[in-house]
């Protein structure tokens, strides 16, 4: 069974290492973001865990 390493996770947006002090997540699919990368791809508005939505029906929609 794969268990993610919570100390060295990668950001879904920029693929850089996300350290614990700058991390948002884990989200439902065990992904992480930097706090600066956790924003809307269209308008750039900073997201929260309540305003985040992941399209589970489209596998290409990773953000």
Q: Say how far apart CA 6 and CA 41 lie, in whole Å.
A: 25
Query: 23, 33 in Cβ contact below 8 A?
Result: yes
Predicted pLDDT at 34: 92
Q: Say how far apart CA 12 and CA 15 lie, in whole Å.
A: 6
Interval 8-24 mean pLDDT: 88
pTM for this predicted structure: 0.67
Domain 7-57 carries which CATH code?
2.10.110.10
Predicted pLDDT at 1: 43
19-39 pLDDT, tens digit each: 888 888 888 778 889 999 998
């Amino acid at each position: 069974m794969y268990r993610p390493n919570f100390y060295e996770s990668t950001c879904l947006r920029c693929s850089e290492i996300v350290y614990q002090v700058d991390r948002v997540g884990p989200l439902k699919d065990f992904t992480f973001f930097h706090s600066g990368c956790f924003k809307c791809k269209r308008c750039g508005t900073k997201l929260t865990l309540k305003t985040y939505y992941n399209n589970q029906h489209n596998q290409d929609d990773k953000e």
